Chains A and B, each alone.
Chain A
Amino acid sequence: MTAAPKAQAAGNGDEIGALALNGVTRRFGEFTAVDNLSFEVKPGELLALVGASGSGKTTTLRIAAGYEVADAGTVTLGGRDITGVPPERRGFGMVFQHYALFPHMPVEQNVAFGLEARGVNKVDRLVKARAALAAVGLEGAGGRAIQSLSGGEQQRVALARALVIEPRALLLDEPLSNLDPTLRQAMRDDLRAMLRRVGVPALFVTHDQEDAFAIADRIALLRKGKLLQAGTPEELYNAPVSREVAAFIGRGSIVPAVDKGGNVASVTIGGVMRELAVTRPANTLPRFEDAYVVLRPDALEMSRGATIFAWRGRVINRRFAGGLVVYRVQLADNVLVEVESTSGDAREDETVSVSPLKGPFPLVSG
């Protein structure tokens, strides 16, 4: 894959500016799909909109693209209000979930379509389309029929079609969801590299947090149309602002704790109390009434047999995961945890001891 021209992006006439949604709301009858949502994507930045289905992430993307009109709030690009600008005049590149390639046109014409719409002459648009195809690793595929392409190839054509118009922003709807797992792994890296090269704000929607972790610079987590938290993947993983974020991001068990203030909380399971070092979200109460800590599999350790001062439990499932084994352990008080262990000795139904290994543990309020 050669360099997708970064200079191209500036060729659209304007400066490259940040894409921002400001207090955007969208209702469908009684249902509020997007609720007073604000975020900004800077030029060259990759922001993932993450959420379960029905969280409003696709509607948000469609508002950014202009296919939906917000009931309230504005969309701005480089500070300019584009809320009322229809999609055909936004100059954004969009990659649809099912790619939406035109089945009656060969690859080349698909890619050149945006240039055709801009009145670019036939020779120039073919030259540019071929360059864009080369940029996504599909040189020489211009004459092929869409139906003859694999899923991964279709995805690249869709990307080339979005890039060739030198978009002011890139929008991608579940760009990897149609690929099989092996291809998906490979495409994550390619996609991130290609999007970074373009240098425009890039917004993509996914329900898969692993995709988001692998591709995005920042993640905006949505639930019921509201923004729960926006931040880098590390921030969301290590410092979730709420129980909901903690439950959605990463694996782990959320167990009730007693907040002792400062950086300390205690967790009691089956009568065994352990004090833990915790981090609390910024700008919150100094002490939570109903506190929870997040026990991630990599922050716990496990030993065979019953150990004093450890939480006792029973292995109900073990899963080999390459270098380590992930155990699912049923503790007392109906607490279920997952523990990563380098030792694979313990068997199902065996009694084991689980202890906190390394902190600080995220502390959240219910």
Chain B
Amino acid sequence: MRVATGRQSWMIAVPVIALLLWTVVYPNAAVIAGSFENGLDHWREFAASPADREALRTSIVISIASVFASLAVGVPLAFLLGRFEFPGRRLLRAVATLPAALPPLVGVIAFLFLYGESGVVTRAVQRLLGMAQAPWQLKGVGAIVFVHAYTMYVYVFLFVSAGLERFDATLDEAASGLGASTWHRLRRVTLPLLMPAVAGSALLVFMNALGSFSAPYVFGGGLRVLSTQILASKTNGAMGLAYVETTVLALSAVAGLVLFRWLDRKRKYTLASKGGRARRTIQSRRVQVFTSIAAAVIVVALVLPHLMVILVSFARDGVWTTQVLPPEYTLENYRRLFSEPELWRPITNSVSMALIATAANLIVCFVAAYLLVFRKFAGRRLLELLVALPWAIPATAIALGLAATFNRNDLLTGRVLLVGTFWILPLAYFIRDTPLVASAVEGSLRQMDASLEDAARGLGASWMLTMRRVILPAARPGLVAGGLLAAVTAVGEFVASVVLYTHANRPISMEILAQLRALAFGTAAAYSVLLIVLVLMMTLAARSFEERLA
């Protein structure tokens, strides 16, 4: 880091800080202010409402349960794949992160097709056991946590796997050399050292589960959680109550964040890599067979939702009633998507809105990351906070903030009418993805030797040339990775969209929901497949772009 001329830094920093203050801080402040517009009335209303109290409690219960369920799946799987060699390991490793590739709403409807009341697995089990009724109901807290565990364990798995890879194998050896049993070693050495990874991923799961909307919305049954309550209040025109609910949701997220930071406060060490240890081949024949069977079961469970969505996308709408599998297959669903302009519209909407949001993210986040890494100026801490802030605010709260702020033209209070226009959704996507892109770019820039910029300038390069030939190439991996993540998230975005969309700019996720409501399962699934294909295409495009440049 170097001290550049303060004025120059400020000239770049001020617009970025102003933009983030206006789009991130102001709307949320407006929500909080709105919750007090009638003094404490709205808050009293909230406190007196049994539905809201239940929603708050359920939100927190679901979040905590999702954390434990994700840990229960992710930690053992990371150990199994990281530490042992067995037939089927490579296949399991290849599909282990697959749930992350499902856009939130798509994962939920895949579960509905599989495990719902008329789902394939449910009916198969019912037939097999000759039961009169479905053996289970995909409803309530259990169902939501089930879906969350499936989609969110990936965070835990990735974090713990990375931790295990960096883990200094000689520490384990030292422990056993000192006489520690496997269990004692795990409890006193391995797990404590993996705690940062476990805590980091647990926090991610907690935040995601707290803000989760699609699972509670689709099969919550009569269950209330904060995010769905907010939408319900807004739809009913009870904006004051919606403000209070939003504030409570955001405060819960911040409380969770603070709590995790506090739990992780004592750590002073980092895991220094001396090369992970080699995977051990499982010796016992019986354990090996058992492990491979378990791996096969997990692989099937992980892949099934994807397969199910693909299968249903070929099912003729309206004829799948009581059969285990859809009885008739057709290409009609896809044909209609591509030929009927009204059905094609959501796809162009999602793609263009995602591209706009991503482009804005790349520009703003690059400037912000550049300032954070290379410049020292008075507002540095503020900028750091602003860039990270949207991460701590659930998407529903962000969306409601935008709805509360950009609902009229009023230059005096800095309000612009965006609600009901095309631009409100790209703005929401931009805000949601800012922390993601900024930290990716910042990570890339931090790997660059800070004196390179000085060196380039010292060799007589102009500011523009230095930027083009030194800084941008260094930032490129972060820009590509962050841009990809932002585009993928935006194209399938649901949580903010459901609050802010209009018929004209409805994204794919809203159309999937609409088709689902119309019981057009085949069409909904075809949209989902298209969404997965879009995500895949973007990933491949980013990879080939990166390879061509690298």
Contact = CB atoms under 8 A, between A and B. Distances in A.
Contacts of B173: 67, 87, 94, 96, 100
B409 interface: no
Given A86-B176, A161-B178, A165-B179, A103 B269 contact: yes
Interface of A: 65-67, 86-94, 96-98, 100-104, 113-114, 116-118, 145-147, 161-162, 165
B95 to A, nearest CB: 29
A117 B274 contact: no
A85 to B, nearest CB: 12
B269 A100 contact: no
Nearest to A96: B170
Closest 6 CB pairs of A and B: A114-B178, A103-B269, A100-B174, A117-B180, A100-B170, A117-B179
B175 interface: yes
B268 interface: yes
B171 A102 contact: yes
B127 interface: no
A104 B179 contact: no
B181 to A, nearest CB: 6
Given A91-B179, A94-B174, A103-B193, A145 B188 contact: no
A88 B268 CA distance: 28
Nearest to A91: B179
Contacts of B171: 100, 102
26 contacts: A66-B177, A86-B176, A87-B176, A87-B177, A88-B177, A88-B179, A90-B177, A98-B168, A98-B274, A102-B189, A102-B193, A103-B269, A104-B193, A104-B267, A104-B269, A113-B178, A113-B188, A116-B180, A117-B175, A117-B181, A117-B184, A145-B268, A147-B268, A147-B269, A161-B178, A165-B179
Interface residues of B, number: 23
B180 A113 contact: yes
Contacts, number: 74
Interface in B188-246: 188-189, 192-193
A96 B171 CA distance: 9
A114 B179 contact: yes
B168 A100 contact: yes
Given A113-B188, A147-B269, A96 B174 contact: yes
A162 B179 CA distance: 11
A91 B178 CA distance: 7
- Kindly name the residue among B168, B179, B189 whose own CB sees the greatest number of chain A CB atoms within 10 A: B179
Contacts of B176: 86-88
Interface string B253-284: 00000000000000111110010000000000
Contacts of B192: 104
A113 B175 contact: yes
Contacts of A102: 171, 174-175, 189, 193
A122 B179 CA distance: 16
Contacts of A91: 179
Contacts of B178: 88, 113-114, 117, 161-162, 165
- Kindly name the residue among A93, A101, A103, A147 whose own CB sees the greatest number of chain B CB atoms within 10 A: A103
